[in-house]
Amino acid sequence: MAPMASKSRTLDALTSSTLKHVREEWWDDDFTSFLVERLKPRVGNRILHVGCGTGTVELQLSRLRIPQVIFIGIDRIVERTIVAERTTDGHNLRASFAAADAGILPFPDATFDSTFCVAVLQHVGQPGEALGEFARVTRPGGRILAVEPDNAARYWYSSLPQGMAAYRAGRRFFEAQAALRGEALEPRLGPRLPTLFGELGIELLEVQLFPVSVTWLGAQDQRLWSARKQAIESAIDRADDGAVRSSGEAYLQALADYKDAAGAAGRSFVEIQSTLLFAVVGQRGE
């Protein structure tokens, strides 16, 4: 039986402790339409995208033919903004990109008609401060939209004990990585967003939930196993701590054992993952 993924959103808890690669594997036309409907862009509006990555979102938004809207994208990694400029160059799109920190936005007060981010605040040490910056640079009455996962409620099931062991080994490795980097991130950020909005005086307009899931029936494609192995090897290479590297090596072995067991199980193999994205829409007070 060929491996069969569910038709809903995708994720892989074996390569990261947080929901990543949203633009590449999760973002679709329906979500783009949702975004536009909530941001309510009008002619001449200025829209800030925090965590713009390589500009693919701006391209998707441009296909909806919103006239004379100006997109400003920022990302903390300079190389991504350079790629974003190239990605959008030559398209009928008014966009510019710059490197900046979400917690210290380099814009005057009330610069934008709306501000949004997707799966960015989960990587920010003080998400409340970043949201406060969103509110500061958004004009009174402007929209603020944040979409974040509930990383603490990620569901994982494997029909094989080796799969459950690999998942636990992965948690230990990711936690060791975070401790080495001094990260104390909020895993339940998605559900906390409405509270943060209220604390910052952002009028709460809507909370929308998006399921993110994948189901495998039968042994997974070899490309998936290769991608998992490569992701962990890359993370180990970046670690400069012996204990973290040792944890990573143990995880690699657990993954190898899981791969072998899944191949042997054949058609009886099952793997299920799921979590939720919380899309919170607010409006800056007058």
Please give the C-alpha separations between residue 199 and each of 70, 75, 122, 202, in angstroms, as whole numbers.
29, 25, 18, 8
Instruction: State the pLDDT at residue 127.
Output: 94
Assign residue 57 the CATH number of its domain.
Answer: 3.40.50.150
> What average pLDDT does range 95-107 have in this prediction?
94
Collapsing DSSP states into helix, strand and coil, what is residue 120? coil
Q: How far apart are the first and last CA of the chain?
A: 58
Q: What is the pLDDT of residues 237-262, one digit of tens each?
A: 988 888 999 999 999 999 999 999 99
Question: Can you give the pLDDT at residue 234?
Answer: 92
Per-residue pLDDT at 94 exceeds 50: yes
For 108-146, write each residue's pLDDT tens digit. 999 999 999 999 998 888 999 999 999 999 999 999 999
Question: For residue 67, what pLDDT is reported?
Answer: 67
Q: How deeply is 257 buried, as exposed, middle or buried, from its count of CB atoms within 10 A (0-12, 13-18, 19+)?
A: middle
pLDDT tens across 65-86, in order?
Answer: 666 788 999 999 999 999 988 8
Q: What is the reported pLDDT for 5?
A: 40
Q: How far apart are CA 32 and CA 213, in angstroms?
A: 19
Residue 14 lies in a domain: no
Tell me the pTM: 0.86
pLDDT band for position 230 (50/70/90)? Answer: very high
Tokens (6 digits) for 157? 């099931």
Q: Has residue 278 got a pLDDT over 50?
A: yes
Residue 234's domain comprises 22-284
Residue 3 resides in a domain: no
Q: Is residue 9 in a domain?
A: no
pLDDT recorded at residue 152: 87
Number of domains forming the structure of the chain: 1
Encode pLDDT of 150-182 as tens digits: 988 889 999 999 999 999 999 999 988 888 877
Angle between helices 161-180 and 242-265 (to 10 degrees): 160
Rounded Cα gap, residues 83 and 218, in angstroms: 38
Residue 2 banded pLDDT, cuts 50, 70, 90: very low
The pLDDT mean for the chain works out to 88
User: Which residue matches tokens 């510019």?
Assistant: 96
- Residue 15 included in any domain: no
Span of 2-6, 168-172, 234-238, 272-276 with lowest mean pLDDT: 2-6
Does a structural domain hold residue 72? yes
Taken in order 24, 25, 30, 34, is the CA torsion positive or negative? negative
Query: Does residue 5 fall inside a structural domain?
Result: no
Q: Which of 191-197's residues contact partners 24+ apart within 8 Å by CB, and which partners? A: 191/150, 191/278, 193/121, 193/146, 193/148, 193/278, 193/280, 194/280, 196/127, 196/128, 196/131, 197/131, 197/144, 197/146, 197/280, 197/282
